[in-house]
Amino acid sequence: MTGPVLAVAGLRAYYRTSAFGVRREVRAVDDVSLSVEPNEIYGLAGESSSGKTTLIKTIANAFQPPLQVLAGSVVFDFAGKRFDIHSLAARELAAIRWKHLSYIMQGSMNVLNPVRRVRQSFIDFAFRHIGGPLPEFLDLARKHLQRLHLEPQILDAYPHQLSGGMRQRVTIALATVCQPQFIIADEPTTALDVVVQKGVLAMIHEVQRALGSSILFVTHDMAVHANLSDRLGIMYAGRLVEEGRTADLFRNPRHPYTAHLIASLPQLGDSAPKQGLAGAPPNLADPPEGCRFHPRCPRASDICRREVPFLQGASGHRVACFHATAESVA
């Protein structure tokens, strides 16, 4: 295989508002670099307001003011062609979207227009990118729905006739019907109960393997990541604090924040009371100096208050912490 499908370098995206003479700058994504290999599920985890959605919105170039990209680049590599997504013209962007790059939005249950039949949503969103005769496309859509264990007749239904899980599966079908190389999924299973969630996750995995595409999968649910992701990035307050193979990360979390996240997961046979992390994520309009985690960090020292740690480390397990625990020797 060639290089990574997606390479993000030094991405900095702020919300900048200026209303009634008050300027505000919310540093939602600060200096994030990551890459996603072909045929890989990259998980992005972090608590609410840690900048996950903002990051993938900028990666997909699906954002509007006040969100601005100030620095950094997002480069996709589709079949040997490089696409710097922030410098593409609208037409070029439309040409790669859906066909190469698709995006399952947050609240994916509501991606379907409530007053139009599912068929219409398929035609509006996906058909324009595939082209060709319409009956052929509808056949393709039916086959694809079957792959996701949905009745082909669903095309003639209105969204409110489907259950929440079905709607999410339809949305996933919609995002994958053009067989894109890269799929961005923003909490596609969050509103579902665990049984349906398990089914949907299995389906995402199945489709991903069948298409051989890469997925950037975002959720705050660590248990989902443990099951699905090949590699995992942990975000805290707009920064990537740790990144590595999912198994390594769970076995040996090097960043204190990751350690807390994983320690908070319930485990069979473990009856010890879970300890919460004191405090709350920082206000991103006024983040703390130095490491953004230091006010809540049990290992914090002087240097953490002064300097920003960079993401570093060998063998693909990178961490941004001055007091990271040692890398495990395999």
Furthest-apart CA pair in the chain: how many Å?
A: 66
Pick the closer one to another protein by CB: 53 or 229: 53
Pick the closer one to another protein by CB: 17 or 120: 120
Pick the closer one to another protein by CB: 127 or 293: 127
**What is the C-alpha separation between 315 and 28, in angstroms, rounded?**
28
Q: Report the nearest approach of another protein to the CB of residue 204 (Å).
A: 18
Residues near another protein (CB under 8 A) are 60, 62, 90, 93-95, 97-98, 103, 105-108, 110-116, 120-121, 124-126, 128-129, 158, 160-161
**What is the C-alpha separation between 224 and 186, in angstroms, rounded?**
13
Residue 257: how many CA atoms within 13 Å on its side-chain side? 28
Pick the closer one to another protein by CB: 110 or 328: 110
**What is the C-alpha separation between 43 and 231, in angstroms, rounded?**
6
Q: Report the nearest approach of another protein to the CB of residue 197 (Å).
A: 19
Q: Report the nearest approach of another protein to the CB of residue 118 (Å).
A: 12
Q: Report the nearest approach of another protein to the CB of residue 32 (Å).
A: 21
Q: Report the nearest approach of another protein to the CB of residue 307 (Å).
A: 38
Are 12 and 31 in contact, with CB atoms under 8 Å apart? yes
3-class SS of residue 260: helix
Burial label for 93, CB within 10 Å (0-12, 13-18, 19+), is middle
Pick the closer one to another protein by CB: 115 or 195: 115
**What is the C-alpha separation between 137 and 132, in angstroms, rounded?**
7
